[in-house]
Structure 1
Amino acid sequence: HRDTEAQRRPGTQGKLMFGNLESPTVERVMRAPFATATNPEEVEALFTAAQARGNEGLMIKDLESAYTPGRRGKAWLKMKRELATLDVVVTAVEYGHGKRIGVLSDYTFAVRDGERLVNIGKAYSGLTDVEIAEMTKWFLEHTLDDQGYRREVEPKIVLEVAFNNVMKSDRHESGFALRFPRIVRLRPDKSPQEADTIERAAEIYQRQGGDQQ
């Protein structure tokens, strides 16, 4: 039960115990990269290195804290940052849940692939209730195919979306999917012809480390 004992120890002692594991146990343990930082500049450098490895970010821990599964606190903090944003075109909408059950708040969106649009993700957070109400009215008036809970709409609305990373995916025609997408803002100043392209999504995918995700 050495692993359980290590979990109860403060981080510095637990790390030493895990670091001293010998075969064959060590073959079943994958150690995450570990480093210490004493100032914001060092943290930023570690964060940049983590993203270069294809990681989402850092887990920052108080070295004297113990492992407490299921509990929230300030001893362990996640440090993440949006990888990039894309300007995308809404192609379909769905009714929301809970307080948004009567409005069209879930948006499927696409990027440009030559002269056509290919879906790359779906987002349902980021807009205000007022914006969602206004967009619901617009989508109801510009529906191409009413499927009940879902509507295909005229591809005229451009959104800026943020996300954590780009993944390969068979779910969308683009061949990519955005992880944790959220709407940054509506872009009424942009036309669908000014939306980002599949090449831009592929560029971000390669920059983050490709299949390392």
Structure 2
Amino acid sequence: MTAVEYGHGKRHHVLSDYTFAVRDAGRLLNIGKAYAGLTDAEIREYTDHFLKHTVEDRGHWRRVEPNVVLEIAFNNIQRSDRHESGYALRFPRIVRLRPDKTLGEIDTLERVKEIYAGQRAGTPPRD
């Protein structure tokens, strides 16, 4: 994760909106944001974590040290001018936290391009 935001409604007091990225030539490029998938207990625990690992605080939004890896499910990928990666995941949702993974193991922009090209050609993505 590269950034977090305070949620809305019952989650207005916890950091529950997560921006995530892919790797590209030593950089992290944002590709999406997810709000769903973690339990309330996990959100509380990670709110404490992100408060301690904030790099930039803009009140409602925080840039954080990228030291948490998520597994994300999504419907498809589309081109996007909104994200640095040039792509956006459609309907992303958090499958699980991946404390067993490092930043060096997250997906790459090249992998995103492969999936994008495959979905345009009607080819299912490989795992």
Q: Which TM-score bucket, shorter chain as reference?
A: over 0.9
Counterpart CA distance in 2 for 1:196 and 1:165 is 15
Match of 1:141 among 45, 52, 57: 52
For residues 38-53 of structure 1, what are the structure 2 equivalents within 5 Å? Answer: none
Q: How many pairs does the alignment contain?
A: 121
**Structure 1 residues not aligned, in runs of 5+:** 1-89
Counterpart CA distance in 1 for 2:67 and 2:109 is 18
Counterpart CA distance in 1 for 2:41 and 2:118 is 36
Q: Does 1:124 align with 2:35?
A: yes
User: Which aligned runs of 4 or more in structure 1 are off by greater than 2 angstroms?
Assistant: none
Secondary structure class of the residue paired with 2:56:
strand
Match of 2:61 among 150, 162, 179: 150
Deviation digits for residues 83-136 of structure 1 (CA, Å, limit 9, x no counterpart) = xxxxxxx00000001110100000000000010100000000000000000000
Other-structure match for 1:174: 85
Other-structure match for 2:98: 187
Other-structure match for 2:11: 100
Q: Which amino acid aligns with 2:80?
A: S
Counterpart CA distance in 2 for 1:183 and 1:114 is 25
Identity across the alignment (%): 69
Counterpart CA distance in 1 for 2:41 and 2:91 is 23
Greater Rg over alpha carbons, structure: 1
* Structure holding more helix per residue: 1
Other-structure match for 1:164: 75
Other-structure match for 1:5: none
Q: Which amino acid aligns with 2:119?
A: Q
Q: Which has the higher contact order (CA 8 A, sep 6+)?
A: 2
Secondary structure class of the residue paired with 1:125:
coil
Deviation digits for residues 54-108 of structure 1 (CA, Å, limit 9, x no counterpart) = xxxxxxxxxxxxxxxxxxxxxxxxxxxxxxxxxxxx0000000111010000000
Counterpart CA distance in 1 for 2:17 and 2:37 is 11
